[in-house]
A = this chain, B = another copy of it.
Amino acid sequence: MTKVVADITMSLDGYVTGPDPGPEQGLGAGGEALHEWAFNDDPVDAAQLRTGTERSGAVVMGRRLFDIVDGPNGWNDEVGYGAREAGSPPFFVVTHAAPDAQRLELDFTFVTDGMASAIEQARVAAGTKDVVIMGGGDVIAQALGAGLVDVLHVHLAPLVLGAGTPLFHDTGRIPMRQVDVQVSACATHLTYELG
């Protein structure tokens, strides 16, 4: 059965980017340290990346994240879903208006009638696989606050950023069940079920 999975990397103090994220530095000032786990040879980390990709039947993202991944420093043949163009899932971008152009030759749909609609369209597209909400933090917070997330998958990086984009802005209280924890040399991969 399709689940809606929010999947993101977070610092111990709850930030998913450092200060001033944008097309020039997608993860903000000093934020690249968050993703150190995704660029090493640890088999636990590699398995996280692989299963994360394999279960994605469709991906939901926010407009700011789209602008970053589609921007000149975004995904390419080696990084992100751009690296596996043939097998990429469809992407649903929550936005006020579609962009005039896109760089990546991937299947982007621009959804202008809100988060719930984007998730529903993604659910149809996902078939038996999962819908993965990949960010940014504000989009995941909005989905969490609206009760639209079944599973929260947090890759916990071993640092305190001190500033940046918080993951849990205005979500209110969310009880959860810890269902899986995988530990690698430089991250702790936490899985929680909600609702």
Contacts and interface: CB of A to CB of B under 8 A. Distances in A.
Given A188-B188, A190-B188, A192-B158, A13 B167 contact: yes
A168 B162 CA distance: 7
A183 B192 CA distance: 13
A24 to B, nearest CB: 19
Interface in A81-126: none
User: Most B CB atoms within 10 A — which of A159, A161, A178, A183?
Assistant: A178
Given A12-B176, A14-B13, A188-B190, A171 B160 contact: yes
A176 B159 contact: yes
A159 B174 contact: yes
Given A12-B168, A13-B14, A168-B13, A176 B190 contact: no
A175 interface: yes
A33 B175 contact: yes
A30 interface: yes
A159 B183 contact: no
Given A12-B154, A14-B14, A174 B192 contact: no
Contacts of A175: 33, 159
Interface string A139-168: 000001000000000101011111100111
Q: Among A162, A167, A171, A187, find the residue whose CB has the most chain B CB atoms closer than 10 A.
A: A162
A167 B13 CA distance: 8
Interface of A: 12-14, 30, 33, 144, 154, 156, 158-163, 166-168, 171-178, 181, 183, 185-188, 190, 192
19 contacts: A12-B154, A12-B168, A12-B190, A12-B192, A13-B167, A13-B168, A14-B14, A30-B173, A156-B156, A158-B178, A158-B192, A160-B172, A160-B173, A160-B174, A162-B168, A178-B185, A181-B183, A181-B188, A188-B190
